[in-house]
């Protein structure tokens, strides 16, 4: 199905794993966390418990590294029956600090694409996560100059998008969302009548998985952000 992008005036970009690497660092930290708890449970059990606690805590802490660290500490206490050492708790906190201070690694072609698109379109960032952390990453990335607006959302559901587009006075038929998550960046966008481009990242958080993903239609799926220029820059 050929999709017409001629009416697009505003392009929204997800940040984590669309503009820069993110999930890879979470996975690496989860590996280290499992090693810290190897005397209490198997890696598989540690991974399952951590994910369960994360899901229980989402409404309390939201998305981002800080909530992830708190969930790791809670999981460590549960899995060890509160016998986890103070030293290990400090190591978990240090894992979180290392994640927060990690250099921002832009994905291939990001600046090239933004530099070209911002000459024709109004570009905005629409991301989930911790406000302070996302602002820090955007500042470190060196690409903030390309965006007219940055919004850190508590979630990415239809109402979140609707309310933001209304607030920014963006017509839904003039809006395109680009992101790596079918669940957060594509499905809710299609459901409100806007357009979406899906660019999968090689690693996806289990919470962002979509059952029967192959049945999701009405959007463009690309292998890299660079391919966006083929569909947009020449229109």
38-62 pLDDT, tens digit each = 999 999 999 999 999 998 998 888 8
Q: Average pLDDT, stretch 168-179?
A: 94
pLDDT of residue 129: 81
The domains located in the chain, with CATH, are 10-20+104-232 (3.40.50.1000), 23-101 (1.10.150.240)
Lowest mean pLDDT among 141-155, 187-201, 208-222: 208-222
Residue 231 burial (10 A CB sphere; 0-12, 13-18, 19+): middle
Lowest mean pLDDT among 14-18, 61-65, 88-92: 61-65
Beta-strand ranges (E) seen in the chain are: 10-13, 122-128, 149-153, 175-179, 195-198, 220-221
For residue 125, pLDDT over 50 is answered with: yes
pLDDT of residue 201: 74
pLDDT mean across residues, the chain: 88
Indicate the pTM of the whole model: 0.86
For residue 131, pLDDT over 90 is answered with: no
For residue 210, pLDDT over 50 is answered with: no
Per-residue confidence band for 178, with pLDDT thresholds at 50, 70 and 90: very high
Whole-angstrom Cα distance, residue 174 to residue 166? 12
Sign of dihedral through CA atoms 202, 141, 226, 122?
positive
Lowest mean pLDDT among 7-21, 69-83, 102-116, 127-141: 127-141
Read off φ and ψ for residue 86, nearest 5 degrees. Answer: -60, -35
For every residue of 176-224, DSSP letters joined together read EEEES-IIIIIHHHHHTT-EEEE---S---GGG--TTGGG--SSEE-SS
Whole-angstrom Cα distance, residue 210 to residue 181? 9
Q: How far is CA 61 from CA 53, 112, 115, 134, in A?
A: 11, 35, 35, 15
For residue 182, pLDDT over 70 is answered with: yes
Whole-angstrom Cα distance, residue 59 to residue 32? 25
Whole-angstrom Cα distance, residue 58 to residue 88? 24
């Amino acid at each position: 199905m050929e999709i017409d992008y001629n009416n697009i005036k505003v392009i929204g970009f997800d940040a984590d794993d669309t503009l820069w690497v993110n999930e890879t660092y979470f996975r690496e930290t989860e590996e280290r966390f499992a090693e810290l708890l190897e005397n209490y449970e198997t890696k598989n059990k540690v991974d399952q418990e951590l994910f369960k606690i994360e899901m229980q805590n989402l409404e309390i802490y939201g998305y981002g590294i800080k909530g992830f660290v708190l969930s790791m500490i809670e999981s460590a206490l549960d899995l060890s029956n509160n016998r986890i050492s103070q030293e290990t708790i400090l190591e978990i906190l240090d894992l979180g600090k290392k994640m927060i201070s990690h250099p921002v690694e832009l994905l291939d072609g990001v600046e090239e694409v933004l530099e070209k698109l911002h000459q024709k379109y109004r570009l905005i960032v629409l991301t989930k996560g911790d406000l302070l952390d996302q602002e820090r990453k955007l500042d470190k990335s060196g690409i903030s100059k390309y965006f007219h607006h940055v919004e850190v959302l508590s979630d990415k559901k239809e109402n979140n998008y609707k309310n933001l587009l209304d607030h920014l006075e963006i017509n839904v038929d003039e809006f395109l969302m680009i992101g790596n998550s079918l669940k957060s960046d594509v499905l809710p966008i299609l459901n409100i009548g806007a357009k979406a481009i899906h660019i999968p990242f090689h690693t996806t958080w289990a919470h962002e998985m979509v059952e029967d993903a192959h049945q999701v239609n009405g959007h463009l799926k690309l292998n890299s952000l660079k391919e966006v220029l083929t569909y947009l820059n020449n229109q």
